[in-house]
Amino acid sequence: MDEALRTSPRATPWRLWLSGGWLTLFFGVALLAPWIAPHDPLYQDLFLQRLPPFWIDGAETGHPLGTDSLGRDVASRLMHGASVAATVALIAGLATCLLGSVLGLLAGFYRGWVDQVISRIVDIWMSFPPVLFAILLVAVIGTGLTSVIVAIIVIDWTRFTRVVRAETMAQARMDYTEAAHVAGMSRFATLMREILPNVAPVILSVLTLQMGIAIVVEAILSFVNLSVSTDDPTWGGMIAEGRVSIHQAWWVLIFPMIALFLTVLSFTQFGDALRNRFDPVLR
Amino acid sequence: MLKRLLLRLISIAITLLGVSIVVFVAVRLVPGNPVAMMLGPGATAEDAAALEALLGLDKSILVQYWIWLTNVVQGDFGTSISLRQDVLTLVLGRLPATLELAFLALVFAALLGGMLAVTGTIRRGGWTENGIDLWNGLTLSTPDFLWGLFLILVFGVWLQIAGISGRISPQLDLPFTTQFYLIESVLRLRFDLTANLIGHMWMPALALALPLSAMIGQLLKQSLKETMHLDYVTLARAKGFTENQVIWREAMRNALAPTLTLTAVQFTHLIGGTVIVERLFSYGGLGNLAIDAVINRDLPLIQGIVLVFAVIFVLINLAVDLLYAVLNPRLRHG
């Protein structure tokens, strides 16, 4: 998604509170899943197959969101799926951010051949369709959570590099950079102490965007069965199972969909709102 | 202009060379011995050595790359391991389905985005515009994967008004000689088949189109609103044109350029999205083939598909550059 297209710059505090609230809930559940989940997410009870959620007749009180076609508790699987999603968002998001931002800072600040090399690699990288690239990589390095995280880092660092490079170039032309130079500050110190803090808001907003994207990529890969092993509960895996039993038990599909939707939406909205709050120009 | 084009072509050549190296190296990194996999149990060491020599695996990596590259340039992408067919034939057979889907999605996105932008411009400043902003924000943050699932659930399961898989009803007798079913059905005036195709395509196309429609809607609305303050637009209003006429006859032409560029750039993302959306709707395109290839670890096929996608991406980027030069006269004489 293009930076210029982020939603309106008007400050809307409710956006920050709503998205922040959902993300707190998401990370809280992800962290506490083993203790707060009412059932073992892998326990199959074949006598309790496809129980509907609580507001429909025939529901059991012990399974508020119903059970899937193997009699596993949807709510518990959803909570454990949140752990996988949160792990991917944090590790893949931060590592991608670190790699991409460092390269972007170097390219934007030192220019010359450094910039030439980095920008050319970014061009090559961006001529792969991301989802296909992810699938290719996972095919090469094997399935599993680590592979998914590695694939996301290898593919998505360009998102940071492009934005950070452009922003660094803009900041490097400003008077304060020149002033730091005149005051005798070394090039590296100027980059770290003067330019980096001013590029940071942009990095932060791309980071939240990236965390949302990482969660979607993980969901897509587990949907096509290329992520964690099929036993472990993931939102994408639940969606794949729900897609199969869609006519018998739509709730198996819709709950992970809603969770995925709200989490991705909250990440983008939170990043947007955060940037509006801390970017002095927009404020 | 000519110099610019030439530089662009050189840069394309370098990019494609880079892509080919990445693909070649990536596939060589796959754990496991391809010779052992192809021969199966019970093969002797001589068999393995003979096959290695046949595949050129006994030569250095650079020589291997050179042999592979010269073959690829001549259109020889190798043979698919799982389907035992020529990779290029397979890929070209599936490509038209994906291109038709992507173009239908582009049309949807342009229509939907244009409608949102014009409505938002006419009713600017009111709750209608706020509603459109909110809708665009929601649509933009929802990936095509989720839109696809949502459409399946609403139209396929709850309302039951649409079949949710395939490209065309399998029991139909198809007169087509090419793989461009949609175009050919129109050219042959078989509109019953066109309707059947569209009936299968509209949901995946809409899933792909919705995020892009939000981008188009938001950017076009912004440019239109800026144009609406210009003097020549005020003059048109003074002449008695209605707001609708002002937008379509006067403002649109000047506001369109940034949106066109953005749409062309985002079209590559849309094509990337076909991979998963085709899977969701069991649509027989290149993306679905790609996922099958990965699940079967069919490396020659994966290589072929990735290269074809990369060529399409690079061509679209070239088209964007040319389009930009045409729309911006200052660059034409640069």
Average pLDDT score, chain B: 83
Give chain B as a 3 state SS string.
CHHHHHHHHHHHHHHHHHHHHHHHHHHHCCCCCHHHHHHCCCCCHHHHHHHHHHHCCCCCHHHHHHHHHHHHHCCCCCECCCCCCEHHHHHHHHHHHHHHHHHHHHHHHHHHHHHHHHHHHHCCCCHHHHHHHHHHHHHHHCCHHHHHHHHHHHHHHHCCCCCCCCCCCCCCCCCCCCCCHHHHHHHCCCHHHHHHHHHHHHHHHHHHHHHHHHHHHHHHHHHHHHHCCCHHHHHHHHCCCCHHHHHHHHHHHHHHHHHHHHHHHHHHHHHHHHHHHHHHCCCCCHHHHHHHHHHCCCHHHHHHHHHHHHHHHHHHHHHHHHHHHHHCHHHHCC
Q: What pLDDT score was predicted for residue A3?
A: 43
pLDDT at A60 over 80: no
Calculate mean pLDDT across residues A232-238.
Answer: 87
**Across residues A65-77, what is the average pLDDT?**
82
Higher pLDDT, A104 or A229: A104
* B138 chain-A contacts, CB cut-off 8 A: 265
Partners of residue B30 in chain A, C-beta under 8 Å = 139-140
**CB proximity under 8 Å: A 174-203 to B:** none
CA–CA min distance A13, chain B (Å): 15
Q: What is the pLDDT of residue B179?
A: 83
Residue A88 lies in a domain: yes
Considering only the beta carbons, identify the residue of B133, B219, B297 that sits closest to A5.
B219
A138: closest chain B residue by CA: B294
What is the C-alpha separation between A272 and A278, in angstroms, rounded?
10
Sign of CA dihedral A60, A65, A71, A76: negative
Which pLDDT band holds residue A57 (cuts at 50, 70, 90)? confident
Q: How far does A197 lie from chain B, in Å, by closest CA?
A: 27
pLDDT digits 0-9 by tens, B181-191 = 888 888 888 88
Give the residue-averaged pLDDT of A183-191.
85
Q: Rounded to a whole number, what is the distance in Å from the CA of A63 to chain B's nearest CA?
A: 22
- A159: CATH: 1.10.3720.10
A211 interfaces chain B, CB cutoff of 8 Å: no
Q: Return the residue in A16, A131, A218 with the most chain B beta carbons within 10 A, the one to mutate for interface testing.
A: A131
So what's the pLDDT on residue B173? 75
Average pLDDT of the residues in B130-140: 88
Residue B235's CB: how many other CB atoms inside 10 A?
12
Cβ atoms of residues B252 and B224 within 8 Å = yes
More confident position, B54 or A98: A98
Give the domains, in start order, of chain B with CATH numbers. Answer: 1-82+297-334 (no CATH), 96-295 (1.10.3720.10)
Q: How far is CA B99 from the centre of its chain?
A: 7
Number of domains in chain A: 1
pLDDT at B55: 66
**What was the pLDDT predicted at A4?**
43
A11-25, A121-135, A247-261: segment of lowest average pLDDT? A121-135
Which is more confidently placed, A271 or A47? A271
pLDDT of A6 > 60? The answer is no
Asked if A269's CB is within 8 angstroms of B141's CB, the reply is: yes
Query: What is the ipTM, given to two decimal places?
Result: 0.80
Which positions in chain A touch B285 (Cβ < 8 Å)? none
Share of chain B above pLDDT 70, in %: 91
Cβ neighbours of B287 in A, within 8 Å:
132
Q: Looking at the domain assignment, is residue A241 inside a domain?
A: yes
- Contact yes or no for B153 and A1 at CB 8 A: no
Q: How many CB atoms lie within 10 A of CB B243?
A: 14
The pLDDT value recorded for residue A271 is 85
For range B29-57, the mean pLDDT: 69
Cβ <8 Å between B143 and A216: yes
Report whether A63 contacts A78 (CB < 8 A). no
A1 belongs to a structural domain: no
B268 min Cα distance to partner chain A (Å): 8
Which 3 state secondary structure label does DSSP give B190?
coil
Tens of pLDDT, residues B87-128: 899 999 999 999 999 999 999 999 999 999 999 988 888 888
pLDDT band at A283 (very low <50, low <70, confident <90, very high): very low
Q: What local confidence, expressed as pLDDT, does residue B334 receive?
A: 43
Chain A with chain B: Cβ pairs closer than 8 A: 137
- B79 bridge partner residues: B86
pLDDT digits (tens, 9 = 90+) for B216-264: 999 999 888 888 888 888 888 888 888 888 888 878 887 888 888 888 8
Which residue on chain A is closest to B317 by alpha carbon? Answer: A127
- Binned at pLDDT 50, 70 and 90, residue A280 comes out as low
Q: Chain B contact for A253, CB < 8 A?
A: yes
Q: B23-41 pLDDT, tens per residue? A: 888 777 766 556 666 666 6
In a domain, A223, yes or no: yes
Q: What is the CA radius of gyration of chain A?
A: 22
Chain A residues whose CB is inside 8 A of the B223 CB are none
Domain carrying residue A120: 8-278
Give the orientation angle of helix B252-280 with respect to helix B87-122, to 10 degrees.
130
Decide if A283 is inside a domain: no
pLDDT at B208 over 90: yes
Least confident of A226-240, B124-138, B140-154, B303-317: A226-240
Judged by a CB distance cut-off of 8 A, whether residue A4 touches chain B is yes
Query: Residue A200 has which token pair?
Result: 């940071």
List b or e across A42-60, with b for residues whose CB sees 16 or more CB atoms inside 10 angstroms. eeeeeebbbbbbeeeeebe
Rg (CA), chain B: 25
In a domain, A67, yes or no: yes
B32 versus B1: the higher-pLDDT residue is: B1
Across the range B192-205, mean pLDDT stands at 87
Chain B nearest-CA residue for A262: B142
Lowest average pLDDT, out of A82-91, B189-198, B320-329, goes to: B320-329
Answer whether residue A86 is part of any domain: yes
Of B136, B142, B302, nearest to A139 by CB-CB distance is: B302
Residue type, B160: Q
Question: Which A-chain residues 223-242 have CB contacts (< 8 A) with chain B?
Answer: 223-226, 239
CB contact under 8 A, B295 and A225: yes
* One-letter amino acid of B124: R
Contacts of B306 in chain A (CB under 8 A): 128, 132-133, 136
pLDDT tens readout for residues B270-286: 888 898 999 888 898 99
Is residue A150 situated within a structural domain?
Answer: yes
Q: Nearest CB to B133: which of A8, A246, A264?
A: A8
